[in-house]
């Protein structure tokens, strides 16, 4: 859990308080905190004068607007056909072993969340994953270890 503080107000000042400001505001919160808390969604609803259920309904439509708690680094492994054919399972096993969590979970230190996602547009360089917004492609178990170690040192 994080304190949303003035973030929603700042984002609303930046993007406006119309309905079409909703997506950029939610994206702005997720960019900073990786997921949306109830408190954050209620704040957004208040700023935009729309119902909180609609904020939740809209957010939950979009895979990247997580309403579940996520860690600092959200690892999204592509599970669509080419990545699946080209070794997605080994990549997931490597990540699960390294982070000591299963797909769908977050590490105890809240640093990493591991989830699967649909096609991220790197089929020619499969398997691929995103860590937050950064793509990593042509993954091998060895490469994944290096990448994650890099994040662990951050």
Partner 1 sequence: MVNLKINDQNVSVPKGTTVLEAAKKMNINIPTLCNHDDLCVAGNCRVCVVEQTGARTLIAACAMPVSEGMDIHTNTLKVRNARKHIVELLLSEHRSDCTKCYKNQKCELQALANEFAFGDTIFLDLVEDHHYTIDRSSPSFIKDDSKCIRCQRCVRTCSELQYISAISVSNKGAHQKISSFSNKPMSHVVCTNCGQCVNRCPTGALVEKTYIDQVWDAIYDPDKHVVVQTAPAVRVALGEDLGYDPGERVTGKMVNALRQLGFNSVLDTDFTADLTIMEEGTELLVRLKKALVDGDKNVSLPMFTSCSPGWIKFIEHKYPEFLPNLSTCKSPQQMFGALAKTFYAKRRNIDPSKIVSVSVMPCTAKKFEADRPEMRSSGFKDVDFVLTTRELAIMIKQAGIDFRNIEVAKYDSVMGDSTGAAVIFGATGGVMEAALRTAYEIVTGHEVPFGNLNITPVRGMDGVKEATIKIAGCVDDWKFLEGAELKVAIAHGLVNANKIMKLVKAGKAPYHFVEVMACPGGCIGGGGQPIPTNMQIRKNRMAAIYSEDEHMVLRKSHENPDVIAIYKEFLENPNSHKSHELLHTHYVERENY
Partner 2 sequence: MEKTGLNKVDLIFEEIDPKEVLIKASKMTSDEIIQNMLDSGLKGRGGAGFPTGLKWKYTAAEKEPEKYIVCNADEGEPGTFKDREILDRVAYKVYGGMAIAGKAIGAKNGIVYLRGEYRFLLPKLMTELESFHKMISEIGFDFKIRYCLGSGAYICGEESALFESVEGFRGEPRNKPPYPTTSGVYNKPTSINNVETLVTATMIIKHGPASYSQLGTKDSRGSKVFSISGDTPTPGIFELELGMSVQEFVNEFGDGDTKAVQVGGASGFCVPRKKFQDTIIGFEGVPTGGSMKLFNSSRSMYNVLHNYLDFFAEESCGQCTPCRVGCQQLLKGVEKVKKGEAKSIYLNELVKLADTMKIASKCGLGQSVGNAFKTIVENFREEIIY
Binding residues for partner 2, per CB under 8 A?
A: 18-24, 26-27, 30, 57-58, 61-65, 79-82, 84-85, 117-126, 130, 133-135
In angstroms, how far is CA 130 from the centroid of its own chain?
A: 9
Query: What is the rounded CA–CA span in Å between residue 106 and residue 79?
Result: 19
In angstroms, how far is CA 70 from the centroid of its own chain?
A: 7
Query: What is the rounded CA–CA span in Å between residue 41 and residue 63?
Result: 16
The entry of partner 1, partner 2, none that residue 134 binds, CB within 5 to 8 Å by partner kind:
partner 2
**Hey, which residues between 47 and 66 contact partner 1 (CB under 8 A)?**
50-58, 60-61
Q: Taking a C-beta distance cutoff of 8 angstroms, is the pair 45, 66 a contact?
A: no
Nearer to partner 1 (CB atom), residue 31 or residue 38: 38
**Hey, which residues between 80 and 139 contact partner 1 (CB under 8 A)?**
none
The entry of partner 1, partner 2, none that residue 19 binds, CB within 5 to 8 Å by partner kind:
partner 2
| Residue 154: Cβ within 10 Å count | 7
The entry of partner 1, partner 2, none that residue 104 binds, CB within 5 to 8 Å by partner kind:
none
Q: Taking a C-beta distance cutoff of 8 angstroms, is the pair 27, 11 a contact?
A: no
The entry of partner 2, partner 1, none that residue 121 binds, CB within 5 to 8 Å by partner kind:
partner 2
Q: Considering the rule CB under 8 A, would residue 46 count as an interface residue with partner 1? A: yes
Q: Taking a C-beta distance cutoff of 8 angstroms, is the pair 93, 84 a contact?
A: no
Q: What are phi and psi of 77, to 5 degrees?
A: -95, 130
Q: Taking a C-beta distance cutoff of 8 angstroms, is the pair 35, 2 a contact?
A: no
Nearer to partner 2 (CB atom), residue 27 or residue 37: 27
Return the range that interacts with partner 1 (CB under 8 A); candidates 18-26, 39-47, 90-98, 145-153.
39-47
The entry of partner 1, partner 2, none that residue 32 binds, CB within 5 to 8 Å by partner kind:
none
């Amino acid at each position: 859990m994080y304190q949303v503080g003035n973030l929603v107000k700042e984002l609303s000042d930046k993007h406006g308080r119309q309905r079409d400001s909703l997506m950029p505001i939610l994206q702005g919160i997720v960019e900073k905190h990786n997921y949306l808390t109830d408190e954050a969604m209620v704040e957004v609803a208040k700023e935009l004068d729309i119902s909180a259920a609609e904020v939740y309904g809209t957010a939950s439509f979009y895979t990247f607007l997580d309403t579940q708690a996520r860690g600092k680094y959200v690892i999204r492994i592509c599970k669509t056909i080419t990545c699946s054919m080209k070794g997605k399972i080994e990549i997931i096993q490597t990540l699960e072993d390294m982070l000591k969590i299963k797909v769908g979970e977050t590490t105890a230190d809240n640093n990493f969340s591991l989830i699967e996602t649909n096609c991220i547009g790197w089929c020619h360089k499969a398997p691929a994953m995103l860590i937050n917004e950064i793509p990593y492609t042509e993954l091998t178990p060895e490469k994944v270890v290096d990448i994650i170690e890099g994040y662990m040192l951050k």
